[in-house]
Structure 1
Amino acid sequence: MLRKFLTAFIAAGTIISTAIAQTNSLNTISPDSVITDNEVPEEVKSNPVITASIDAYYRYNFSNSKTTTNNFTSFTNSQNSFELGMASVKLEHSIGKVGMVADLGFGKRAEEFSYNDDNTRFAIKQLYATYSPWKNTKFTAGSWATHIGYELVDAYANKNYSMSYMFSYGPFFHTGLKAEYTAGKSGFMLGIANPTDFKSASFANKYVVAQYSVATKNDKLKAYLNFLGGKANDSSKNNQLDLVLLGTVSNKFSVGYNGTVASFKQKVGNKFGEADSWWGSAIYLNVDPVSWLGLTLRSEYFGDKKLQTAVFSNAGGNIFANTLSANFKIDNLIIIP
């Protein structure tokens, strides 16, 4: 039975400067990269790359009350209303072994993404510098989008406009320092960061973030095992273990999976008590029959019997949510009903 109807309009584009040609650089820790030696390329300037996007949506919930919204996932808390999402501008540039990224967002979606910052419709989504002393090694310092989960903050990067429960109650970004290393089809990441979703955290304890990734030779199957853990303060600590699987069956059909468990402990007296947790599991089925049309089904099971999230008001429970989205692509415009 159809309970919610949501239509989104997304426009995105990329501009690459033509001043100087680009050469080798390690852009991300991913099984996509194959590294065979440690030679350092000559120091050259790359093309600055600017990516821009805007999104807007309309949402109607057939089960909604007349006075309050009942949305419990990120970025679409409205009812029978046309809403502006986010205008996003991302600048990427590198010179030799050094790279830099400035990713800025304007709008309600950006404000909710950076909810711990002062209330503003302008937000720094990502701001970081990288240093790659060797082709298979990279260090990153600054604030970057989380490695945990299947979905991303930018609307154009997802095939469903609405967000999953796992995304909504997991981390959004991390601020700190991380090291990444690739060996063939395997990747490793280890870092230290402020507590989740804080760009500034004076006197606070720090979190550990980590990732192991691997892929088959033909890249048709990829796996990412993700972790974060630490003390939010002296009386509470939490950790999250997350798995993402990506499978390509053909150029018209692919499958994604995301499973995660987040646990929390509170100090009682002089020691921490037993862990309370929430967990989720989702499968994504993606079909692209033609170049201008795609269909995605997300089936998610989310459990929170210990009231660690805002989904259940009085007693814990479970949710089984299914979302079917179409992606109509017209040049750089995407319409998602």
Structure 2
Amino acid sequence: MKTIISTKYIKNTVLAAAALFAVSATAQDADDTSSPFSLSGSIDTYFRTALTTSDADGTYAPEGASTSFANQTGFALGMANLIGTYEAGDTGVVVDLVFGPRGTEATFENDVLNGIINQAYAYWNVSDKTTLTVGRFNTFLGYEVIAPAANFNYSVSYLFSNGPFSHLGVKADFELSDDVSLMLGVMNPWDTNDISLTGEYSLGAQLGLYDQFFNFYYDSGRNGGLGFEVDYTGGFDLSDSFFLGINAAYNTNSETETGFYGAALYPQITASEDFAIGLRGEYFAYTADGFDDVPVIGLTLTGSYSKENLIIKPEIRLDSWGNDFEPFTDNDLAPSSSLATFAIAAIYSFD
């Protein structure tokens, strides 16, 4: 039985938040009909230690040189996640609430409830082939997602950390055939999850071809300039037990004259129904006009053991920066361009 989760395929569905945890918790009434309401969720926690640095604050690097989430040392909490779905006929609503450091970082604490609303959207299945969604929804860009239960690796990539997390607006999903899909969206500017004060908006599009996804994002209001990102996310089942995920992206901003580009491979092997192992190999580079690119190589080896609803993920991560960039401190308190860490995470999800 294949246990590897291909997160981009989950994200491409209309009920993205509900699909992350396979929402199916429905009650039966006297007529044996399903309840329109369902609830799912998860909680994750971890222990992490640095193997090659004496940094006391426990972060990977100073702000601007680190990835998102799972950056603390010792025992730490990720987040608690609750997803409620109500469906009535062709319409429905999804509310995705997050509590804890991972959730706060993902929402930027910029809503009226202190950053607990990860997603909140309504949808209308206009036809069997067309769905409209309005509200706040997680991004369509990238391979990884906010909720750790749907990612193979527990820590996240530089590509994911530097892209948008969520959008607020409206999108339309079209199923053009069994193997071809199209999404078009109009949204607030980059990571503007409450209101847009500039009168500017962003445009998004996704073309799905045989489970390979080509994503496009244009932003006329990011930091006062024109932002653009193109992203490819996909993967291939090379055998019954070997899956290769792929992510590549290019981003630029005309006002700040900064951006990034990179690519990541996700080879994953399913050893049994309960255990799988996977590697994320990533090359990422920051760009700025007038400066040399600042590259980083990240290698993350993760095991995934499942026992009923519980997933245990031991993980070793190596980060190495180039171009004389030294954001870390080694055991002799000298600046260092590399860091090795070990983490073990526990994720429990329910539906």
TM-score (norm: length of structure 1): 0.79
Bigger mean CA offset, 204-213 vs 69-78: 69-78
Give the counterpart of 1:248 among 233, 237, 250.
237
Q: Partners of 1:118 and 1:102 in 2: how far apart? A: 14
Aligned-pair distance for 1:209?
1.0
Aligned-pair distance for 1:280?
1.1
* SS, match of residue 271 in structure 2: strand
1:19 aligns with: 28
Task: Note closer, same or farther for the CA distance 1:186–1:323 as it changes in structure 2 (3 Å cut).
Answer: same
Alignment-mate amino acid for residue 280 of structure 1 = G
Q: Partners of 2:44 and 2:152 in 1: how far apart? A: 13
Aligned-pair distance for 1:119?
9.7
1:334 aligns with: 311
Conserved in 2, the CA contact under 8 Å of 1:111 and 1:120?
A: no
Conserved in 2, the CA contact under 8 Å of 1:279 and 1:304?
A: yes
Question: Which structure 2 residues correspond to residues 114-153 of structure 1 after superposition, within 5 A?
Answer: 114-115=107-108, 117=110, 123-153=116-146
Q: Partners of 1:116 and 1:129 in 2: how far apart? A: 22
Q: Count how many residue pairs are aligned between Structure 1 and Structure 2.
A: 285
Q: Partners of 1:107 and 1:117 in 2: how far apart? A: 14
Q: Partners of 1:112 and 1:319 in 2: how far apart? A: 22
Aligned-pair distance for 1:334?
0.4
Aligned-pair distance for 1:47?
3.9
Alignment-mate amino acid for residue 153 of structure 2 = N
2:208 aligns with: 213
Q: Partners of 2:112 and 2:268 in 1: how far apart? A: 36
- Whether 1:167 and 2:160 are equivalent positions in the alignment is yes
Aligned-pair distance for 1:120?
7.2
Task: Note closer, same or farther for the CA distance 1:119–1:179 as it changes in structure 2 (3 Å cut).
Answer: closer
* SS, match of residue 79 in structure 2: strand
Q: Partners of 2:53 and 2:122 in 1: how far apart? A: 44
Conserved in 1, the CA contact under 8 Å of 2:227 and 2:253?
A: yes
Question: Which structure 2 residues correspond to residues 1-337 of structure 1 after superposition, within 5 A?
Answer: 16-19=25-28, 47-71=36-60, 72-79=66-73, 81-115=74-108, 117=110, 123-184=116-177, 185-204=179-198, 205-215=200-210, 222-232=211-221, 235-266=224-255, 275-306=257-288, 316-337=293-314
Conserved in 2, the CA contact under 8 Å of 1:146 and 1:172?
A: yes
Q: Partners of 1:85 and 1:121 in 2: how far apart? A: 17
Task: Note closer, same or farther for the CA distance 1:200–1:121 as it changes in structure 2 (3 Å cut).
Answer: closer
* SS, match of residue 16 in structure 1: coil
Q: Deviations over 1:203-258 (max 9, x none)?
A: 3210001100011xxxxxx2100111112357322111000122112331111000
Q: Partners of 2:276 and 2:303 in 1: how far apart? A: 6
Bigger mean CA offset, 44-53 vs 279-288: 44-53
Q: Partners of 1:46 and 1:134 in 2: how far apart? A: 22
Aligned-pair distance for 1:118?
5.8
Alignment-mate amino acid for residue 73 of structure 1 = T
Bigger mean CA offset, 325-334 vs 57-66: 57-66
* Cα root mean square deviation, aligned: 2.5
* SS, match of residue 88 in structure 1: strand
Conserved in 2, the CA contact under 8 Å of 1:113 and 1:172?
A: yes
Q: Partners of 2:217 and 2:151 in 1: how far apart? A: 23
Which structure has more relative contact order (CA 8 Å, sep 6+)? It is 2
1:32 aligns with: none
TM-score (norm: length of structure 2): 0.76
Q: Deviations over 1:26-75 (max 9, x none)?
A: xxxxxxxxxxxxxxxxxx97642211100001111123333333411111
Conserved in 1, the CA contact under 8 Å of 2:258 and 2:286?
A: no
Q: Partners of 1:180 and 1:14 in 2: how far apart? A: 20
Q: Partners of 2:208 and 2:197 in 1: how far apart? A: 32
Alignment-mate amino acid for residue 322 of structure 1 = L
Alignment-mate amino acid for residue 318 of structure 1 = P
Alignment-mate amino acid for residue 298 of structure 1 = R
Q: Partners of 1:212 and 1:142 in 2: how far apart? A: 21
Aligned-pair distance for 1:187?
0.6
Q: Deviations over 1:281-311 (max 9, x none)?
A: 0000111110110101100000114289xxx
Q: Partners of 1:255 and 1:133 in 2: how far apart? A: 35
Q: Deviations over 1:131-189 (max 9, x none)?
A: 11211001100000100000011111011100000000101000001111111111111
Question: Where do 5+ consecutive residues of structure 2 fail to align?
Answer: 1-20, 61-65, 315-351
Q: Partners of 1:20 and 1:121 in 2: how far apart? A: 37
